[in-house]
Amino acid sequence: MPDTTPTPVVDSQGLTFSFGGASFEAILTNTKRKSSVPMIDVTPLSQASGTARKLQPGPLVDGDEITAEFMGSGSFTVGAYGALSCTKLAISGLNGWITDREITAARGEILMGTITIKVTG
């Protein structure tokens, strides 16, 4: 029987991404999966008989997309390829392409940037 206990709330303060050697703090992220996410059983072997298993979503795979919003204009170029990591989201060992970059500016407001990275494995 799978564990249906709600996941504890974790804040996103200090959500630092690294892409192609450049680091930036994301203020908003979204992950778009290209297919259903397999659940991985992470139940410890020491778990008591009759208790619920613990499941977590599987890792990002080739074709999944991550969109990150940040303050400033950034120096990201569409078509750039690089290593992607984010410790807080347990993302490491992945590479990807920047498929979209957008800068939003409004009078009296801080410049905001958004990039979309397509994971390549």
Bridge-based pairing state of the strands 16-19 and 81-86 = antiparallel
Tokens of 60: 């990002």
Nearest to 115 by CA among 22, 10, 14, 52: 22
| pTM over 0.85, yes/no | no
pLDDT score recorded for residue 10:
58
pLDDT score recorded for residue 117:
92
pLDDT score recorded for residue 6:
54
Q: How far is Cα 54 from Cα 20, in angstroms, rounded to an integer?
A: 34
Write out the chain's pLDDT in tens, 121 residues. 555 555 555 556 778 888 888 888 888 887 777 766 677 788 888 888 888 888 777 777 888 898 988 887 777 899 999 999 888 877 888 899 999 999 888 898 888 889 999 998 6
